[in-house]
A and B are shown apart, each in its own frame.
Chain A
Amino acid sequence: MSILSTLTRRCLLGVAAVAVMTSPALAEVDLSGKTVEWVIPFSESGGSAKWANFFAPLLSEALPGSPTVVVKFMPGAGSTKGANWFQKEKAGDGTLLFGTSGSTQFPYLLDDPRVRYEYKDWEVVMASGTGGVAYLDAETGAKFDGSANGLKGIDFIYGSQGATRLDLVPLLAWQMLGMSVEPVFGIKGRGDGRLMFERGEANIDYQTSSSYLKGSMPLVEAGTAVPMMSWGALDADGNIVRDPTFPDIPTFKEVCEATEGCETSGETWDAWKAFFVAGFPVQKMAFLPAGTDAEIVDTFAKAFETVKSRADFAEISAARLGKYPVYTGGGASSALSQAISVNDDAKGFVKGWLKEAYGVELK
C-alpha cells in the first residue's frame, strides 16, 4: 500500500517536474483567432499611420497563429493623449501594441507637464528610423557652397508645425549656421510646408527621407530646389556619418564644420545631436504594455525579426520607410535607450533656447 502510494507520489512528482520543466514550451504564445490592436496616437493621415499600416499585414503573417492585426487611431494633444492612455493599460496577452513617434519622444524629453507616460516602463519590440534633408530654393541655393557663409543676412521663411516638434532639429541647426530663418507656424504637415516652398512663399524647407524622395527630388531635378544638407545617420559607434539614402548630400555636421562660427562640439552641438538622435535615427517604436510576460515580448520581437528578414523586405520597405535599419529585440532596446537618454544639459539648453527664440515655455 505504502509502497504503491509512494510510487504514485513519486510518479506524480515526476510528472509535475516534467510539467514544470516543459511549461514554457507548453505556454508558447499562440494568438490564433485573436485580434491584435495596434494603437497609433495620431490621426489616420500621418506618417505613423502609414508606418503601422505597412507593418500590420506583415506582422499578422509572422505572429504565431496569424492573428488579425488592426491599426487603431487615438489622436489627441500631439500623441500625448494616446501615450498617457497606454501608460495605464495593464499587461495583456499580446493583443495590444502601441506605436510612438518623434512627436511622442520630444514632449517626454522636454518634461512637458502633460506627459504622464514613462518610456522605461514599456516593453519595446521594434524600432525604426528615418533621416531628413534640408533644401533651398534656386536663388538662395546658388549662394550655397557647402558652407552657410554665403547664406548669412538672407531672410529665410520656413513653414513649420511648431518649435517643440521635430522641427526643433532643423530650426536649431539653421540657427547654429548663423542663418536667419523665420518659421511660419501653424501648418498641418510637412507636405503643406513643401507646398509653401513650391509656391515660393517659403524659401527653405526640410522633409523626412521618404517624403524627400517622393515630393522634393522632382523639384531638385527641375532645378527649383537645391539640396543643402542631410541630418546624417549614426554609425555603430554613434558617430554622425553620411545618410546611406543620400550619399551625395553632405551632412549638417560637414556643413557646420565648413561654416564660420558653427561648432561641432560644445553645449549647443551636444543638445542638437541629442535631439537629432531622439527624433530621426530612432523615430518610430512599437511597444507592449508595461509588465508584459517575457514570452509574449519575445514572440513579438521574433515576429518583427521574421518580417525584417523577408526576402522582399528591403524592396517593399524602401518606398515606404526609406533605407533605414529596423531594430528588433536587443537592438530595439538599445535604440530605445539611445532615443530617450538626453542629458540634463541638453534638455536645459533646448528649453532655454525655445523660450528665448520662440517664447515657448513648457508648463
Chain B
Amino acid sequence: MEFMTVALPALNEAFGLILQPAVLSYLVLGVVMGLAVGVFPGLGGIAGLSLLLPFMFGMEPVLGLALMVGMVAVVPTSDTFASVLMGIPGSSASQATVLDGFPMAKKGEAARALSAAFASSLFGGLVGATFLTFFVLIARPLVLAFGLPEMLMVTVLGLSMVAILAGRIALKGLAAAGLGLMVGTIGEADAGGSLRMATYDIPYLTDGLKLVIVGLGIFAVPEIVALLRQDKSISKTAALGAGWADGVRDWFKNIWLSVRCSVIGVMVGVIPGLGGSVVDWIAYGHAVQTTKDKSNFGKGEVRGIVGPESSNNAKEGGGLVPTLLFGIPGSGSMAIFIGAIALLGSGDIEVGPAMLKNNLDITYSIVWLLALANVVGTILCIASSGVIAKLTTIRFTLVAPFLFMLISFAAFQSGQNLADLVALFAIGLLGIFLRRFDWSRPAFLIGFVLSNPAETFTNQAYQIAASRFRKSFEEGIDYIFSPIVIVLLIITVVSVYFGIRQAKMIQAEGDVQSGSKRAPLIFLLLFLAYLVVAFINASLIPDFALTDKIFPMTIGAVAIACCLYLLWRMRVSPETDVIFADKEVAGDDASAPHGLWATLAWFAGLLVLCSIFGFIIALAIFLMAFLRIRGGESWPKAALLTACGIGFMCLMAGALNRDFPPGLLQSFVDLPWPLT
C-alpha cells in the first residue's frame, strides 16, 4: 500500500523530471563521454567522473545527475569491447565475459558476441531498474540483514565457482585458486598491518597488487603474446561470420537465463562491501550449471556471455542501494558520485538514510536515468559493434603493439608508478605459464579478487562471533547460523558438488596435449616454492597479530597439500597423463612461427625503454621498431601508425588529465608534457 501512496507519485515526479529535452540531451552527452572513456581498459568511470566534477558545482541537480549517470551507466557496457575483442578485462565487471567472448571473437563471431553481450546488458539494466523501483522501499532492513557471516558466505559462494572452472584436474584448479588467494594477501594486512611477502624497502608491494594489473596480466598478456606468435588476425577465419542480429537472437533464446542473472546481479549488487567482484562469477557459474551441453564453455558458448553481462549492468543498479540509502559507496566511481551529488544545486540532496524520506523522486530519477542511459548506450554500442568487430580481422601484428601500449598505460594508472609496469610483466609471465600448462586462470583470478573480502570477513565475523559466544552460546549460534547463512551454505554445497562433476567438461584452455615431463614439473616446483616461501613468511608474523597470519597460513597449507598431491601424481603417471598438459607440445602454440621468448622480449623492451626514456619516447621507439621489424611494414607506414598511436594516447590522456610513466631521463631533464 505504501507503494501506491508514496512511491507512485514520486515515480511520476521522477519521470516528469527526466523526460525533458535538456535532461535527455545531457544524458546522451554523458553516455557518449562514458563510451569514449570506457574503451580504455582500467580507467573506467572513475576517470570520467573526476573529469566532470569541476562542472558539477551549483549545476541544476537533474542535469548534473543525467550527465553523471549517463557516464557511469555505460562503462560496464563499453568495456565489453576490450574483453570480447582483445581478451582484455577492462574492469572487474567484464572478467567472466572474457572466458567465452574472446573465443567467439577468435572464431570470427565478434559481432555476434558483442551484440549478445549488449542486448543482455540492456535487458539486465532494465530488469535491475524495475526491480529496484519496488525494492528500494523495503531495501533497508534487507540490507541490514546481511551481516558479516552472510557476506562471508556470499564470498564463499563466489569462491565455490572455482569448482566449475577448475579444469580437468580439480586439485590443480584448487591450487591455482589458492595461489590467487595467496597473491591477494601480499602487502600490509588490513587487520594488524603486518607485512606479507613485502618489505618497506619496496613501498610498492606494501599496498598489494591491484586488480587491474592482475586481470590484465593473467588474461590479456598471455592472449596477446600467444596471438602475436601466430602472426594472423584474432579471428582465425579473418572474416566475420555471424553478424549482430544473430547476437540479439542468441540473447532472446536465453532470455530466462538473462532474467535470472539480472536478479542475481541486483541482489548481490545491493550488498555493500562486496560490490561487483563476485557477481559475474556467480552468474557465470549459474549459466554453466543450467546449460545441458556444457562442452562449449570456454570455447565460445554464448550463454557464457549472456549470463555475466546480464548481471553486471543489473549490479550497477543494485549498487545504488548502499550508495543512496546508506551513503556507502560500492565502488570507486560511486564514491565520486556521492561527492558530486553534494556539489549539485544548493547541495540539499543528502545521500544517506534520509534519501528515501526527503528525496524519493530524486532516487527514482537516478534509478531510471540509469536504465535510460543503458538503453541509449546499448543502441550506440550495437550500432557500432559491426564496424568495431572488424578489428578482429586485421593482421594481429599490427594491432598488438597498440594493445601493449593500452595495457601499459592502463596498468600505470592504477598506481602511477613504474613498478606497475614491472608488476604487470611479472603477473603476465605467470599468466603465460598458467595458460601453457593448463592451470585454471579464472580460478586464480577468482582467488585473487576474493582474497581480501574472504580474509577480512572471516576475521571480523570470528571476532564478533567470539564476543557473542562469550555472552551466551545461543546468541553465538544465532549469529553464525542465521537463515540466510544456511540457505547460502546449501547453495554453495550443491554448486560445489555439481561443479566438480561438471568441471571436466569445461576446458577453458581448449584441449591441451601432454608431452614431456620436464617443463610441467619445473613449473609445479616453482609454484610450490612460492607457496612454501609465502607460508613461512606468514608464519614468522608474531603471534599477537594472529589475525594477519591465520588466513595466509591456512590457505597456504591447503594449496601446498594440493601441490604435493600433484607432485606425487606426476611421479606415478606416464608422460601422456593430462597432468603433464603443455601447450608447447602440440597445437597452435607449438606450431607458431615465432618463439615465446622472442615475442615476450618485445614487451619487455617496451618496459625497459620506458624506465629509461619515459612512456611517450619509449612508445615512439617501440612502435616504430615493432612495426618495421616484426610487422615488416614500410618506414612511412610505420611512422604514420606510430604517430596515430601516440596522438591518440596524448589526446585521451590530455583530456582525462592523466600522466605518463616517467623514466630515468625525466629525473635529469625537465621536459614538457607529454614527454614528462
Q: Which residues of chain A have a CB within 8 Å of any CB of chain B?
A: 43-46, 49-50, 53-54, 56-58, 60, 68-77, 80-81, 113-114, 155, 157, 159, 162, 164, 182, 184-189, 191-192, 194-196, 198-202, 211, 214-215, 218-219, 316, 319-320, 358-360
Given contacts A185-B460, A186-B456, A191-B328, 17 further A-B contacts (CB under 8 A): A45-B332, A53-B53, A70-B657, A77-B188, A77-B207, A185-B190, A185-B192, A186-B191, A186-B460, A214-B351, A219-B353, A319-B347, A319-B350, A320-B342, A359-B192, A359-B542, A359-B545
Given A53-B339, A186-B191, A215-B352, does the pair A45, B329 have CB atoms closer than 8 Å? Answer: yes
With the chains together, A202 CA to B148 CA distance in Å?
11
Given A45-B332, A76-B203, A201-B147, does the pair A214, B352 have CB atoms closer than 8 Å? Answer: yes
B492 at interface, CB cutoff 8 A: no
With the chains together, A201 CA to B463 CA distance in Å?
10
| Chain B residues with a Cβ closer than 8 Å to the other chain, count | 55
With the chains together, A53 CA to B56 CA distance in Å?
10
- Can you spell out 29 A-B residue pairs with CB atoms less than 8 angstroms apart? A44-B46, A44-B50, A44-B335, A45-B336, A49-B335, A49-B336, A50-B339, A50-B342, A53-B53, A69-B54, A72-B657, A77-B188, A77-B207, A113-B200, A185-B192, A185-B459, A191-B328, A191-B329, A194-B326, A195-B272, A196-B148, A201-B147, A201-B464, A215-B326, A215-B327, A319-B342, A319-B347, A320-B347, A358-B192
Q: Which residues in B have their C-beta under 8 angstroms from that of A80? A: 203
With the chains together, A188 CA to B203 CA distance in Å?
20
Q: Top 7 nearest A-B pairs by Cβ distance?
A: A45-B335, A359-B544, A186-B190, A218-B353, A191-B328, A185-B191, A186-B456
> Which of B54, B207, B332 is in CB contact (< 8 Å) with A70?
B54
Given A192-B273, A219-B353, A359-B542, does the pair A198, B144 have CB atoms closer than 8 Å? Answer: yes
Q: Which residues in A have their C-beta under 8 angstroms from that of B383? A: none
A-B contact count (CB 8 A): 136
With the chains together, A54 CA to B354 CA distance in Å?
22
A138 to chain B, nearest CB (A): 15
Q: Which residues in B have their C-beta under 8 angstroms from that of A360? A: 192-193
B266 to chain A, nearest CB (A): 19
Closest to B670 in A: A90
With the chains together, A319 CA to B547 CA distance in Å?
38
B36 to chain A, nearest CB (A): 19
A360 to chain B, nearest CB (A): 7
B402 at interface, CB cutoff 8 A: no
B471 at interface, CB cutoff 8 A: yes
B206 at interface, CB cutoff 8 A: yes
Given A195-B326, A359-B545, does the pair A74, B416 have CB atoms closer than 8 Å? Answer: yes
Which of B147, B193, B200 has the most CB atoms of chain A within a 10 A radius of its CB?
Answer: B193
Which of A58, A70, A184, A215 has the most CB atoms of chain B within a 10 A radius of its CB?
Answer: A184
Q: Which residues in B have their C-beta under 8 angstroms from that of A319? A: 342, 347-348, 350
Q: Which residues of chain B have a CB within 8 Å of any CB of chain A?
A: 46, 50, 53-54, 57, 144-148, 188, 190-193, 200, 203, 206-207, 272-273, 326-329, 332, 335-336, 339-340, 342-343, 346-348, 350-354, 415-416, 456, 459-460, 463-464, 467, 470-471, 542, 544-545, 547, 657
B248 to chain A, nearest CB (A): 36
A95 to chain B, nearest CB (A): 12
Closest to B49 in A: A44
Closest to B336 in A: A44
Q: Which residues in A have their C-beta under 8 angstroms from that of B332? A: 43-45
Q: Is the CB of B463 within 8 A of A184?
A: yes
Q: Which residues in A have their C-beta under 8 angstroms from that of B329? A: 45, 191
Closest to B351 in A: A214
Q: Which residues in A have their C-beta under 8 angstroms from that of B206? A: 77
Closest to B461 in A: A201
Q: Which residues in A have their C-beta under 8 angstroms from that of B144? A: 198-200
Given A71-B50, A184-B463, A319-B350, does the pair A195, B193 have CB atoms closer than 8 Å? Answer: no
With the chains together, A189 CA to B146 CA distance in Å?
18
B348 to chain A, nearest CB (A): 8
Which of A44, A199, A215, A358 has the most CB atoms of chain B within a 10 A radius of its CB?
Answer: A44
Closest to B150 in A: A199
With the chains together, A20 CA to B351 CA distance in Å?
56
With the chains together, A58 CA to B343 CA distance in Å?
12
